[in-house]
Amino acid sequence: MNELPEVQRPLRGIVLLLLSFLFFSALDATAKHLAQTFAMPLLVWARYAGHFLLMLIFLLPSMRSRLLVTNHPLAHVIRSLMLVGMTGLMVAALPLMPLAEATSMLFITPLFVVILAGPWLKEKIGLGRWLAALVGFSGALIIARPGGSLSGVGALLMLGAAFCYSIYQILTRQMSKTENTLTMIFYSALTGTVVMSLSLPWFLDGPQPTLFEALLLFFLGLAGGIGQYLMTSAFRHAPASMLSPFMYVQIVWATLLGWQLFGQVPDGMSVLGMAIIVGSGLTIVLGERRNGTP
């Protein structure tokens, strides 16, 4: 299946990527608010069901069966389950941690990617990347501060989320060479909807959402779908090596939303941990850029 033609407009790609992370941060902030009332499985289901509905409405009529065509259905399912796992663990952690700190800990994903890329992708991992990854992990420890004021359970949940996200990223790197991008996004939404629908009977007897809360539940899927579309579009306008350093702007969005919506401002140690994570991540990204890794 042919991908849509790539048109290089770097500035547009950067703007689209920044907007995508604004939607992802808005999704996380909304989930954090709703998690005070509703069970995690319901929120994860709403995130994927809304996204799936949008794809059925806007893509299925034009793409039809092309949206489903793949030679690697099992790989799609495994990749999608990793994304669902990441979402579920993060949603479970959000009520326990400030939004900025939780988002920052997700960005230790490069550490796990470095650990797994060697044996899995047969990539040669240099000493510099190992050191950068370990430094990034130390930043996560500074944020979590075992024995400090932040929830240790929340930090462990975010570590699990980052691990799931790293496997998702590695599978995405493998599959993007042969699979249509929209097909990959569709299977993510489909798998998340099916898996989380199976859990709903155990949680439907909980609090019933008001009209406003129902709109917020729908917004989870809307924000996720729009964010995914904007991110996909961004990578069509600019190369990954150019866009990767801008991914850390999501921490900025999360910090602003956490401050405005929940009155949570990171303290000095958390800011230091965030800076270490960003610095180590950028070191890995720029190292891959010099080595020509996509």
Radius of gyration of the chain (CA): 19
* C-alpha span between 62 and 258 (Å, rounded): 39
Residue 4 placed within a domain = no
Residue 3 placed within a domain = no
Is the model's pLDDT at 216 over the cut of 90? Answer: yes
* C-alpha span between 251 and 29 (Å, rounded): 12
Residue 110 placed within a domain = yes
| Percent share of the chain, pLDDT over 70 | 91
Q: Identify which of 215, 217, 218, 250 has the alpha carbon closest to the alpha carbon of residue 231.
A: 250
- Tokens for 117, please give them: 């890329």
* C-alpha span between 52 and 188 (Å, rounded): 9
Number of domains in the chain: 1
Residues of the domain holding 187: 10-291
Q: What is the pLDDT of residue 13?
A: 87
* C-alpha span between 246 and 15 (Å, rounded): 10
CA distances (Å), 173 to each of 48, 121, 161, in order? 22, 10, 18
- Tokens for 289, please give them: 């850029």
Q: What is the pLDDT of residue 4?
A: 45
How many C-beta neighbours within 10 Å does residue 274 have?
26
> Contact at 8 Å (CB) between 23 and 230?
yes
Q: What is the pLDDT of residue 110?
A: 78
Is the model's pLDDT at 42 over the cut of 80? Answer: yes
Is the model's pLDDT at 288 over the cut of 70? Answer: no
Q: Return all residues near 2 (Cβ < 8 A) that are at least 6 apart.
A: none
Q: What is the pLDDT of residue 86?
A: 96
Triad 66, 176, 164: Cα angle to 5°? 110
Q: How confident is the model at residue 1 (pLDDT cuts 50, 70, 90)?
A: very low
Is the model's pLDDT at 149 over the cut of 70? Answer: no
Is the model's pLDDT at 7 over the cut of 60? Answer: no
Q: Which amino acid is at 221?
A: G
6 three-state secondary structure: coil
Burial (CB count within 10 angstroms: exposed 0-12, middle 13-18, buried 19+), residue 294: exposed
Q: Identify which of 84, 148, 137 has the alpha carbon closest to the alpha carbon of residue 110.
A: 137
Of 40-54, 240-254, 274-288, give the range with the top mean pLDDT. 40-54
Residue 84 backbone phi and psi in degrees, to 5: -65, -40
Q: How confident is the model at residue 115 (pLDDT cuts 50, 70, 90)?
A: confident
Q: Which amino acid is at 280?
A: S
> Contact at 8 Å (CB) between 117 and 284?
no
Q: What is the pLDDT of residues 236-266, one digit of tens each?
A: 787 766 777 788 899 999 999 999 999 999 9
